[in-house]
Amino acid sequence: MQAMIFAAGLGTRLQQETAGKPKALVNIGGKTLLQRAIEKLQHEGVSKIVVNVHHFAPQVIAFIESKDWGIPVLISDESEKLLETGGGLKKAAPLFSKNQPILIYNVDILSNLDLNILKAEHQASGALATLVVRKRETQRYFKFDKQKNLVGWFNKKTGESKISRSEHFNEATEMAFSGIHIVQPEIFDMMPATDRFSIVQVYLEAAKTHQIKGFFDKSAMWMDVGKPAQLEDARKLFS
């Protein structure tokens, strides 16, 4: 399995932490977020990793080149323009094999999810993409039918909704996205011609005609350390 780590974000929620360095190089328990992400993916059998960079890109590139990771860790450079999640994946397409699924992992996520279980469920389902989701309080939710097919998206704060399959939308289960997903390379054929767009929009459009599945994660640990409070919680946990 090959993987991509989304590490190009500005890290604006972390304020002073990212004033002089990128979010990917924020330290928790003696290791940067990027190191923790790379080591997790490598430990779970990923054979190649692509990391996208933008904010303080030279720092991230230098950090990656300073270590022997045991597997290839390649750079997709977005220094000139931040491309969002969909555009970032699209730009990195030439770096991926066309015959393996691509695991996507946000650099600010800490999780003990067994990624091989995710891969096995994804491949068994025949889905175009599988999104790791959890039952937790948030503002934006994906909605899934009883077969865990994506049927839409809903923002509880604004009331905005985006419907992929209207016949199942109202009674669908609301789940919060975990920043981990796995896609087939065929996803590139469904991307818009523009260079900057969200992968969420691709999933919601694809779900009208293809299987976009949810993986309902119940693993013991999941943290979004792109938020200051959870960053401090993580530092206590890994101290």
Domain boundaries, the chain: 2-237
Residue 59 is predicted with a pLDDT of 97
Q: What is the tens place of the pLDDT at every residue in 66-114? A: 999 999 999 999 999 999 999 999 999 999 999 999 999 999 999 999 9
Q: Which amino acid is at 39?
A: E
Q: What is the pLDDT of residues 102-116, one digit of tens each?
A: 999 999 999 999 999
Residue 13 scores a pLDDT above 90: no
Mean pLDDT of the region 213-227: 95
Tokens of 57: 């890109």
With CA atoms as reference, report the closest residue to 2 among 37, 38, 47: 47
Q: What percent of the chain has pLDDT over 70?
A: 100
Give start and end residues of each alpha helix (H) in 19-129.
33-43, 57-65, 84-91, 115-125
Q: What is the pLDDT of residues 162-177, one digit of tens each?
A: 999 999 899 999 999 9
Q: What is the radius of gyration, based on Cα positions, of the chain?
A: 17
* pLDDT average, residue stretch 149-156: 97
**2-237: what CATH class?**
alpha beta
At 4, is the secondary structure helix, strand, or coil? strand
3-state secondary structure at position 109: strand
